[in-house]
Amino acid sequence: MTRRFESQLYRHVFSLDAVSVYTFQLLRVAEMALIRQALSLGIIVTSALMIWKALMCITCSESPVVVVLTGSMEPGFKRGDILFLHMSKDPIRTGDIVVFNVEGRDIPIVHRVIEVHERRDSRDVDILTKGDSNDVDDRFLYKYGQNWLNPQHITGRAIGFLPYVGWVTIIMTEKPLIKYILISALGLLVITSKD
């Protein structure tokens, strides 16, 4: 081999080696960025779950925040309002606004307590509720044959509200396509962000 050919061959091999090293470094940086983005997404999800669990502990309620889904509590609470709940040890009284679950229904109901009966023989408490804008009590909402709620049906009492903010939840529930678009956009934002 001639010296000139060796020199050209050396430069060619060296430049290929530099390109492959550079390519490897770029792939490594991209891989690290992807790992970093996945960790960021994991931290966001974990933080949200931790905040929710902390709220559950602070409020003593399995559902510390609920959205009013119907107009049955108007004019006090409108559809789309968010209610903040607390489940205190105080006895439930007539006039309290409570959130309760009924067997056979997946969605919690927000209504006012209109009657409370304490049975003397067993100290059990019977509760009757009604929506403020409804004409009749809620017995038709309860499980068939059930005329009263018990304290175990109650998930919390309303202690505050934020108007209109719950519309986001209502829209995403009623129009799933919007929910998928929003979740995809947020996921894309997390993945493509530099921080």
Which residues are designated catalytic? 72, 111, 138
d(CA 129, CA 123): 19
Residues of 10-36 as b/e, b for ≥16 C-beta within 10 angstroms? eeeeeeeeeeeeeeeeeeeeeeeeeee
Distances (CA, A) of 150 to 18, 36, 75, 119, 179: 75, 49, 27, 12, 35
d(CA 193, CA 140): 51
**Do residues 64 and 56 lie in contact, with contact meaning Cβ atoms separated by under 8 Å?**
yes
**Do residues 113 and 89 lie in contact, with contact meaning Cβ atoms separated by under 8 Å?**
no
Peptide bond just before 75 cis, omega within 30 deg: yes
Give the SS3 label for residue 77.
coil
